[in-house]
Amino acid sequence: MLAYLLPVIWAYVHPITVHGRYFVDSVTKEPFYIKGVDYQPGGSSGVSESKDPLSDPNECARDVLLFQDLGINTIRVYSINADLNHDVCMSILATAGIYLVLDVNSPLPGHHLNRYEPWVSYNEEYLENVFKVIEQFSYYNNTLGFFAGNEIINDKTSAKNSPVYVKALIKDIKQYIEYNSPRSIPVGYSAADDLQYRISFSDYLECIDTSPAESVDFYGVNSYQWCGEQTFYSSGYNVLVDDYSTYSKPVFFSEYGCNEVVPRAFEEVQALYSTDMIDVFSGGLVYEFTQEPNNYGLVKLEENGDVKLLKDFMSLKSQYDILPEINYRHVANSMKKNAKQIQTRLKTHKFSLPECEPTYNNLDISKGPPKSLAENLIENGVKTSRGKFVPLDNDQLTSTYKILDVNGDAYFADPKIERVIDIMSGKEITRVHHSRGFHNCTYSDLEDSSDESSDYSSFTDESEEPDSIHTLYFKASKFLRHLYKAIADKFSEN
């Protein structure tokens, strides 16, 4: 019944898991840093009864060609229709080595929380659709995680009425995954960068009263504070790092890319993946891929489906292209410190996660989370088609649409998606190396992770002789894995 007892169907596309405050490749145990874009062609109107961003294979191939050209490893999609088929698009993304973070809400009727009157929209019909999204996308191993909400708390009224409902929804989703999904999948929230609510709400979503299911698995921040020529300090990024320096879960930019100065230079990319930030932030997603009325696009969609690159695309690509290798020894040492912090806390506390406080600044949690309406749905599951990877022929790895550069000329000489993984045979064709230092496939010389018998001392004890970088990854991830298993066992005894 528990998720970790169920078989993983598509094991050769490595799922991403959460160990402490880090995303980690579940097979190689490497830390995973999100390097991606937000993707919702057509904006809120891009999802309907007949279409969504992941339902048209020809359009998916067109855009994945550009994702690979940028060198990204993750996209975020804000809304889909769970009644449509997404197998081909998800297979194309997986073949290209690209992960998905998916919002569970959509603008369709009955498919989102009303931030001002959540008690009206939080019902079985709403939860059934949320669980259909979970049920379908849990079977794609390149589903990195789910967002339970996006900027639901953004003013006084929503801060009064919605916090407890968001927390209840997170618990519902995590319990549905535990009982019905083939693997554990992280569940998080995407917050508006409003100091009145951002920090207090992240603390509230992190805390627990009785169960780890009450706590968010990651926290996304929509940040637009680096505008034009800035630095780590003048932009306030140093303050963001300080704000989340003790947060127990992964934090990343779920949106970023201020457009007050255009074309955007994206100089913040260099800061985001530097040692100033990688201890606390796990990368980010640039807002956004297609040009919409709010003028944040990297590309322009023509009426006939062709795509023209904008100057912002080339600016972002140039920043990604000059990114140095992430300092992985620095990261490994930070993972080690994080594991020791967890171990130290467990010596004096029952749980590694913080207990909930009676109040949080500017939030009304006085009534507590509502009674869950999800029990029957969790127990019985929902009926929907489960996602699966499908064979792709060469024609599906290209697109009939034209891709034009900023001058209107053909951008690719040979527009074809590079096969990174043969998803039907499980063979790794080429190592996923997303433009300097952003890996998400196997190190051939990584230590064998099958030995679960050793204790924590090999990780926590100091040694005069430095470990290899791959050994540090392995020890850090292995220790955190053991630690969270011990915590789960402790809960099961109570």
User: Which residues are part of the catalytic machinery?
Assistant: 151, 255
Q: Where are the alpha helices (DSSP H) in 163-290?
A: 163-180, 198-206, 237-243, 268-272
Which residues touch 342 (CB under 8 Å, ≥6 apart)?
20, 248, 352, 480, 483
Distance in angstroms (rounded) separating the CA atoms of residues 133 and 127: 10
Which of left, alpha, beta for 436 (phi over 0: left; psi -120 to 50: alpha)?
A: left
How is residue 46 annotated by DSSP? G
| Nearest in space to 53 (alpha carbons), one of 103, 89, 18 | 89
For residue 118, the surrounding DSSP H or E stretch is: helix 118-121
Three-state DSSP at 301 gives: strand
- Find the Cα–Cα–Cα–Cα dihedral 36, 41, 45, 46, rounded to 10°: -90
Three-state DSSP at 274 gives: coil
Which of left, alpha, beta for 272 (phi over 0: left; psi -120 to 50: alpha)?
A: alpha
Contact in structure between 30 and 20 (CB atoms under 8 Å):
no
| Helices first, then strands: H and E counts in the chain | 14, 15
Q: Which amino acid is at 441?
A: C
Q: Greatest CA separation found in the chain?
A: 65
Which residues touch 472 (CB under 8 Å, ≥6 apart)?
329, 332, 333, 335, 336
Three-state DSSP at 77 gives: strand
CB atoms < 10 A from the CB of 444, how many?
Answer: 9
How is residue 430 annotated by DSSP? S
Contact in structure between 337 and 326 (CB atoms under 8 Å):
no
Distance in angstroms (rounded) separating the CA atoms of residues 241 and 171: 27
Contacts 24+ apart (CB under 8 A), 336-340: 336/459, 336/460, 336/472, 336/475, 336/476, 338/20, 338/21, 338/22, 338/476, 338/480, 339/20, 339/459, 339/460, 339/476, 339/479, 339/480, 339/483, 340/460
Which residues touch 276 (CB under 8 Å, ≥6 apart)?
232, 237, 238, 241
